[in-house]
Structure 1
Amino acid sequence: MKLIRTVLGDLDPAEFGLCNAHDHLFFRSALLPGQELDDRAAAAAELAAFRAAGGRAVVQWTPHGLGRHAGELPGLARESGVHLVAATGLHRAAHYERLPAMETLAELFTAELTEGITDGVRAGLIKVAGAFHRLDAHATATLHAAAAAHHATGAPIAVHHEHGSAAAEVLTLLCTELGVPASSVILGHLNRAPDAGLVRELAAAGAYLAVDGPSRANHATDWRLPELLAELVGAGHAHQLLLGGDTTTAAARSVSADGPGMPHLLTGLRPRLTRLLGEQAVELMLRQNPARAFAVAWRA
């Protein structure tokens, strides 16, 4: 049986509900000084606002070493009534002041998926990253470790693509060379890649596509987001699309700052997409697709 591994335990996918498939409650990066997401009260308020807008699930893509505050997640899930999924994995090297030993990564990722990150809070996905238009040594080593952890557990692999680049290289390495099924790979930030033809090719390979940009609604690639989704739906890829907010800075929060935050996915973007694409397609992106993408027949 396939189950979604949440911070409160494994969950029947039918209970997942409307899902923000890529966001951050907590995040601390060396590249974003002064914009840390490390305030529990602000995280709770953001979740409450998302819940009030109809949201029922949030997948947090914050990986190992970037201030996940995994111990806070069960309490936040209980208080908000929102299912939370935590991540293991590793981001680009530039986000870290200090990195774990690369030869330990596969073991680390597997342990956080099976034994837990802290106090029995187990990760439900592996988040990794490519480099800008290429796979550097760090990305290659991290992807190898992610593939090993996937084969040990069945966990999905979610990938940050810097400015939407290097997604084809990631799929070649993970799927062609390392044997990860494309259906277990989630390609993030593809709305930041202006080449719609390339995105269609990536979709044809069978991976899930995470379109995750409303927190940067002033960016050209994000206000073009509906156009890209319409093209992918028209090409027959509606069943592979996921939507997320990707709130990575304190300024992007809706309750404690001036950003659109998590609720915007449902209060701002969802109505626009429903008018453009129809309710059935949007329900797929927000409910059925994430329930399939994050559900696993766990091997450990």
Structure 2
Amino acid sequence: MSAVRTVLGDVRPERLGVCDAHDHLFLRSPQLPGQELQDATAARAELDAFRAAGGSAVVQWTPYGMGRRAADLPPLSRACGVHLVCATGLHQAAHYAPESLDALRGGPAELFVAELTEGIGTSGVRAGLIKVAGGFHALDAHARWTMTAAAEAHHATGAPIAVHLEVGTGALDVLDLLCGESGVPPYRVILGHLNRSPDPLLHRQAAEAGCWLAFDGPSRAHHATDWRMPDAMRALAEAGFGHRLLLGGDTVVAGARSVDGGPGMPYLLRRVRPRLALALGEELVERVLTDNPGRAFAVDWR
């Protein structure tokens, strides 16, 4: 049976509800000193605010080694009444101390599979997706290494692969590697941050390949491309790809949380949703927030 793997167990896709398809409750990186998401009380308040705005599910893309705090996720999910999905995988090399990657040189695929099927550390929480990352308009050796491992883990488990595209670039290189060289079905690949590179031709090519198209990061108001997101999504919907669109908030630093004065997770529903409804129609936006995530993250787990 196809199911979304949440931190409290597998859930049928139609029960996921209104979903933030890419966000973070906990995250730390040497690239973001002093801006860590590591306060469980603040995470609880943010989830409560998201729930009050009408949200019912959050997919956390924080991968291995970046402060996921997997053991904290089940009690947060129960307390707030929000489905949570946790990730395995690896981000760009810059987000890790070299010694932490050295321990995985034997092959991260084994780690990914274990976290998807057995659980993350001693938490017992099983991951529901694999998060990897590309580079700026290219794939470096680290990206190729992690994506190849992600493909191996996908073939072993069926798990979807979510890809951070650096400033929205490199999508076709990612698809060449994952779907071309490694044989991952395109419908199991989620391309993130397409809103940051509003290239209609690239969007159309990625859509025609059959993958999921995530516009995730509207809370980052400093991105000059954000105002183009409604037009980009409308163009894809009019071309027949509305069933492949996803939305997320991608809150990566403490100051971006709504409870700390930023837009945070509720912004996706409070401001982005009505704006997109004007461009796409309320019916399609509802499907993008509910039906599409349920299908994107649901797997016949092996």
- Correspondence for 2:108: 105
Structure-to-structure mapping, 1:1-300, within 5 angstroms: 1-97=1-97, 98-99=100-101, 100-118=103-121, 119-255=123-259, 257-299=260-302
Which amino acid in the other structure matches residue 212 of structure 2? Y
Report how far residue 103 of structure 1 moved: 2.6
State the Cα RMSD in Å.
Answer: 0.9
Long gaps (5+) in structure 1:
none
Q: How many residues are aligned here?
A: 298
**Displacement after TM superposition at 1:146 (Å):** 0.1
Contact (CA 8 Å) 1:217, 1:223: kept in 2 or not? no
Contact 2:198 2:229 in 1 (8 A): no
Cα separation, 2, equivalents of 1:30 and 1:235 = 41
**TM-score, normalization by structure 2:** 0.97
Distance 2:225 2:65 in 1: 29
1:79-128, CA deviations, whole angstroms, 9 ceiling, x for partnerless residues?
Answer: 00000000000000001123242332000000000000032100000000
Q: Percent identity?
A: 66
CA distance in 1, matches of 2:296, 2:91: 20
Cα distance, 1:283 vs. partner? 1.1
AA aligned opposite 1:39: D
Distance in 2, matches of 1:241 and 1:269, equals 14
Instruction: Please give the secondary structure, in 2, of the residue aligned with 1:291.
Output: helix
Aligned with 1:103: secondary structure? coil
